[in-house]
Amino acid sequence: MTTSRVTTSPAPATMRAIFQNGPGAPDVLNVVETARPQPGRGEILVRVHAAGVNPADWKIRERGVFANGAKLPFTLGFDVSGVVEETGDGVTLFHPGDEVFGMPRFPHPAGAYAEYVTAPARHFAPRPKGLDHIQAGALPLASLTAWQALVDTANVRPGQRVLVHAAAGGVGHLAIQIAKARGAHVIGTASAAKHELLRTLGADELIDYRTQDVAETARDVGVVLDTLGGPDRARSLRSLRTGGILVSVLPLDDTFPHEEAEAAGVRAVFMLVEPDQTGLREISALVEEGRLRVIANEVFPLAEAAAAHTLGETGRTTGKIVLSVV
């Protein structure tokens, strides 16, 4: 896969970034002028064109602390699509002008809600051909979560029945397509208003979770992708056939059904997404083959990050929310 390249101008000494100094509601997010970072050894400096907004962002914002313990003040954001401005010592994979996308440093702070980010070069991959920066900025975290859950963890195979919860969400709408590309029979849960869209993405069966008992309707399932957490995890075990697997991408808590899964003859595992250039390249290939489409209908300028969070927290969006930085 070749990398497209554009002409760049010297990067300024400062940049705009979204900072928060305390935990709380979206209004803690503010635009500041700050020093532009410098790439270290093995790192690249990327001028951000678009930054995806994810549920992890507003959960961190509300708590005021990252899962790894990083504390305020900080800049949120993991999803990046942009252009390489500089390379640190030892970097041979990319050059200034290369267009890239990635999910750098996760779960550590990446600072994607900014005009520039630095991160290890191999946390990025060439931007998929045919996608603009907004679309590419929507992809990394959600698509890698779906890929690592379904392919790396569950090893979805042709003919398997796969149940995807919250199928119209950021992870869900990509998981539908990835499972379908693997030859699976895909079942999705979503409100009825979103069923038509999900059929165009490849869903074979759709369940309206508001009116139907999902665990009773979806049966003989080999893989469940859990994006809901809480008591829904234990209920989802009833859909699995013996030997099946539930992969949850929500953090472990007291509701995680370890014992219930063992008693039912199935597995329940928690998976934390990781930066993964190989996975990004596989995802890019699906995009370029026309087998994976990202939905990014809600776009906000960088300065309106608070409004993007407010919308995201309603839980009523389809696909991804993205900040346009350039």
How far from 14 is each of 10, 50, 79, 209, 291, CA to CA, in Å? 12, 18, 21, 48, 40
Q: Is residue 71 part of a domain?
A: yes
Q: How far apart are CA 142 and CA 295, in angstroms?
A: 11
Both 71 and 24 in one domain: the answer is yes
Q: Is residue 259 part of a domain?
A: yes
Confidence of residue 1 (pLDDT cuts 50, 70, 90): low
Q: What is the pLDDT of residues 230-285, one digit of tens each?
A: 888 889 999 999 999 999 998 888 889 999 999 999 999 999 999 999 999 999 99
Q: Is residue 46 part of a domain?
A: yes
Residue with tokens 């030892």: 90
Beta-ladder partners of 206: 188
Q: What is the pLDDT of residues 130-148, one digit of tens each?
A: 999 999 999 999 999 999 9
Q: What is the pLDDT of residue 254?
A: 82
Q: What is the pLDDT of residues 147-188, one digit of tens each?
A: 999 999 999 999 999 999 999 999 999 999 999 999 999 999
Structural domain boundaries enclosing 174: 142-270
Confidence of residue 85 (pLDDT cuts 50, 70, 90): very high
Q: Is residue 4 part of a domain?
A: no
3-state secondary structure of 28: helix
pLDDT at residue 117 greater than cutoff 70:
yes
Q: How far apart are CA 82 and CA 295, in angstroms?
A: 18
Confidence of residue 2 (pLDDT cuts 50, 70, 90): low
CATH of the domain at 116: 3.90.180.10
Both 121 and 190 in one domain: the answer is no
Largest Cα–Cα distance in the chain?
Answer: 61
Sequence letter at residue 310: T
pLDDT at residue 296 greater than cutoff 60:
yes
pLDDT at residue 229 greater than cutoff 90:
no
- Single out the residue of 215, 252, 249 nearest to residue 235, CA to CA: 215
Instruction: Annotate 40-105 with three-state secondary structure.
Output: CCCEEEEEEEEEEECHHHHHHHHHCECCCCCECCECCCCCEEEEEEEECCCCCCCCCCEEEEECCC
Q: Total structural domains in the chain?
A: 2
Percent of the residues in the chain that have a pLDDT greater than 70, as a whole number: 99
Both 24 and 115 in one domain: the answer is yes
Q: Is residue 80 part of a domain?
A: yes
Beta-ladder partners of 162: 186, 223
Q: What is the pLDDT of residues 28-57, one digit of tens each?
A: 999 999 999 999 999 999 999 999 999 999
pLDDT at residue 11 greater than cutoff 90:
no
Q: Is residue 285 part of a domain?
A: no
Q: How far apart are CA 285 and CA 253, in angstroms?
A: 36
Confidence of residue 70 (pLDDT cuts 50, 70, 90): confident
CATH of the domain at 186: 3.40.50.720
Q: What average pLDDT does the structure give for the chain?
A: 95
Lowest mean pLDDT, pick from 4-18, 31-45, 198-212, 251-265: 4-18
CA 227 remoteness from chain centre: 12
Tokens representing 129? 């051909």
pLDDT at residue 7 greater than cutoff 80:
no
Q: Is residue 207 part of a domain?
A: yes
Both 150 and 242 in one domain: the answer is yes
Both 308 and 252 in one domain: the answer is no
Both 126 and 19 in one domain: the answer is yes
Contact 142/103 with Cβ under 8 angstroms? no
CA 197 remoteness from chain centre: 20
pLDDT at residue 106 greater than cutoff 70:
yes
- Single out the residue of 192, 194, 175 nearest to residue 184, CA to CA: 175
